[in-house]
Amino acid sequence: EAGVAQSPRYKIIEKRQSVAFWCNPISGHATLYWYQQILGQGPKLLIQFQNNGVVDDSQLPKDRFSAERLKGVDSTLKIQPAKLEDSAVYLCASSLDWNGRETQYFGPGTRLLVL
Amino acid sequence: SQQGEEDPQALSIQEGENATMNCSYKTSINNLQWYRQNSGRGLVHLILIRSNEREKHSGRLRVTLDTSKKSSSLLITASRAADTASYFCATGESAGNKLTFGGGTRVLVKP
């Protein structure tokens, strides 16, 4: 079974530029998550999708971050404009469902450096 | 904000020794999960323990949960160099499958 795919793996941009990350979850997984992991910290949930609807985006900085999952499969996360403090690893995860008992499977992450 | 806080933040042991790390949390939970993260990689799910369970085993891993103290521990027995990684606890809510991660324990197993 293929795992969660993410691209790019690395990205370096200057502050105020925009950037987009892509995630392809495990086939058949209805729930998709984006996490931000700052160096030395645990992952923090940014947004959670159930199919193509948003379940939780309470910690997403909506003035600069946006995410979509239009067809309920792949997802993109965008930052516009980027700030220095956005330097982090962005992890995508998926699970079969969101009933509180499902294991989340993580992708390898996209490492972002904002200069 | 982070729900779980791991202790210690870092741990260095010799191969063959046991490694124990603890996680404390603040609010009621549906389950508690432990993940491993190798340097530069994604997280790998290790074990899930539900709020009505007290202990769970998986291979060389043993997890305990004490809901009265709002704490959990992860024990890795007979550690190997390949166990070198960061270990995170994450608390799960009953609705929505949302996970809140702690800051992690960095484990170094020296050969």
Cα separation of B87 and B37, whole Å? 6
Cα separation of B70 and B23, whole Å? 8
Question: Which range of residues forms the domain containing residue A68?
Answer: 14-92
Cα separation of A43 and A93, whole Å? 11
User: Domain tally for chain A?
Assistant: 1
B90 CB-contact burial (10 Å; exposed 0-12 / middle 13-18 / buried 19+): buried
Cα separation of B25 and A53, whole Å? 29
Using one digit for the tens of pLDDT, what is the confidence trace for B11-63?
999 999 999 999 999 988 889 999 999 987 889 999 999 999 999 999 999 99
pLDDT of residue B57: 96
3-state secondary structure (DSSP) of residue B45: strand
Q: Could you tell me which of A31, A42, A40, A60 has the C-alpha nearest to residue B3?
A: A42
User: CB distance from A24 to chain B under 8 Å?
Assistant: no
List Cβ neighbours of A96 (8 Å cut-off, separation of 6 or more): A28, A29, A30, A31, A102
Separation in Å, CA B88 to CA A2, A30, A70, A83, B109? 24, 24, 31, 27, 17
User: CB distance from A53 to chain B under 8 Å?
Assistant: no
Question: Which range of residues forms the domain containing residue B21?
Answer: 5-110
- Split at pLDDT 50, 70, 90, the class of B5 is confident
pLDDT under 70: residue ranges of chain A:
1, 100-101
Using one digit for the tens of pLDDT, what is the confidence trace for B67-97?
999 999 999 999 999 999 999 999 987 666 7
Q: Are strands B10-14 and B105-110 parallel, antiparallel or unpaired?
A: parallel
User: CB distance from B26 to chain A under 8 Å?
Assistant: no
User: Domain tally for chain B?
Assistant: 1
User: For chain B, first and last CA: distance in Å?
Assistant: 36
Identify the CATH number of the domain in which residue B79 sits. 2.60.40.10
- For residue B86, the Cα-to-chain-centroid distance in whole angstroms is 9
Cis preceding linkage at B8, omega within 30: yes
Q: Which residue has the tokens 């530029």?
A: A17
Rounded to a whole number, what is the distance in Å from the CA of B6 to chain A's nearest CA? 10
Of A40, A42, A105, Cβ closest to residue B2: A42
What is the helix, strand, coil percentage profile of chain B, to 5? 5, 55, 40
Identify the CATH number of the domain in which residue A72 sits. 2.60.40.10
For residue B100, the chain A residue with the least C-alpha distance is A44
